[in-house]
Structure 1
Amino acid sequence: MKKIMIIGCGGAGKSTLAKRLGAKLNIPVYHLDAYFWKKGWIATPRAEWTGVIQNIMARDSWIMDGNFGSTMDMRIKEADTVIFLDFPTIQCLYGVVSRRIKYHGKTRPDMAEDCLEKLDWEFISWVALYKKQRAPKIRENLASLTDKNIFILKNRKETETFLQNLSKKGKIL
């Protein structure tokens, strides 16, 4: 495990897992939200965004957390490990609401500068529909990969067990 992607619904805990995994494996962590969003929630233009991802992927090791469908295929191609947090919708909704309360009026540590935490109907809808609209395609794509370490974690308990069973060298004990 040297090039790790963490994907899943908003509120599932991708950034938290990335931080913990990075500390355990001593691998640099790249929170994609912090690279994609510019001050005030301005999106990075597509060509620039692709360049950002390519620069990260060129490194010897990395952990990237975030979905970003426009670069998903290129990241999967370069990753040796994909972790999909396939959590129940209610857990993800709880996660985004909790995060909103915790960071009210602030910018999260895994977000770009001056992107104050927000929760709008569009994002709530995206989270609410993720399991039905996006997760099946992701599971299908991951099932077709034979040359990658694939971990599909269904809840926070499975995620904790995964971390506990992972050696500092990236092997499952």
Structure 2
Amino acid sequence: MNLSNLGDRICILGPSNSGKSTLADAIARKRGLTPIHLDLLFHLPNTDWVQRPRDEFIALHDAAIAGERWVMDGNYSVCMPQRFQRATGLILLDISTSASLLRYFRRTLFERERRGGLEGGRDSVKWDMIHHIAVATPKNRERYRTMFERIDLPKLQLSSVRAIKECFREWELAR
């Protein structure tokens, strides 16, 4: 699929630590779109990933999707209906649980800064996050696949780290 086929409002879904933010930033640079990282809207800056009040998050989300040119990464199902209504294209990253865990440990142990990272915060290994990736994410995976199949938008599913890397090459995206 050609990147331009996804339009000017692209949603990127997938498990935690699958590369959504990295892909969103690369697409944003290539296409001149505004990158929107839902983790940054959902959590308060300068905290250790403390959640915003739900109404505040939804208001920030809805203001972000009102724009005409964006690429948004993150799941947050509470806002999916209105996000998909505005979207022109969808990418689902569907990498394995083991790959997500490996990326999580690499990120928290070795990376100082990361795309989509929380302002004033630093990632650290957290049992809750390991549990989320290892237990909750596999349960959500089928739900996201089913939802992805039902959405009537131009869409692309990338089901491995290799497929994501190939997509970067094919679309000539810079990390």
Q: Indicate the residue corresponding to 1:36 in structure 2.
A: 42
2:171 alignment counterpart: 166
Give, in whole Å, the separation in 2 of the partners of 1:167 and 1:12: 19
Q: Is the 8 A contact 1:9 1:130 kept in 2?
A: no
Which residue number in structure 1 is paired with residue 161 of structure 2? 156
Shifted more, 106-115 versus 156-165: the winner is 106-115
Secondary structure of 2:90 counterpart: strand
Aligned to 2:72: 64
Distance change (3 Å), C-alpha of 1:67 and 1:165: same
Distance 1:60 1:87 in 2: 29
Q: In structure 1, what is the Cα distance between the partners aligned to 2:121 and 2:42?
A: 11
Question: Letter of the aligned partner of 1:6 in structure 2?
Answer: I
Alignment of structure 1 residues 15-26 onto 2, 5 Å: 15-26=21-32
- Measure, in 2, the Cα distance between the counterparts of 1:160 and 1:36: 28
Alignment coverage as a number of residue pairs: 165
The two structures have a TM-score, normalised by structure 2, of 0.86
What SS class does the counterpart of residue 151 from structure 1 fall into? strand
Q: Which residue of 2 aligns with 1:80?
A: 88
Residue in structure 2 matching 1:8, options 11, 14, 30: 14
Q: 1: distance between equivalents of 2:29 and 2:136?
A: 29
Match of 2:116 among 87, 90, 110: 110
Q: Percent identity?
A: 24
Partners in 1 of 2:165 and 2:158 — Cα distance? 10
Please list every run of 5 or more consecutive structure 2 residues that lacks an aligned counterpart in the other structure: 1-6
Does structure 1 conserve the Cα–Cα contact (< 8 Å) formed by 2:24 and 2:73? yes
Write the deviation string for residues 33-66 of structure 1: whole angstroms up to 9, x where unpaired: 1222112122111111111111111111101111
| 1:46 alignment partner, one of 49, 54, 58 | 54
Which of residues 112, 134, 144 in structure 2 aligns to 1:138? 144
1:171 maps to: none
Partner SS state of residue 16, structure 1? helix
RMSD over aligned Cα atoms: 1.9
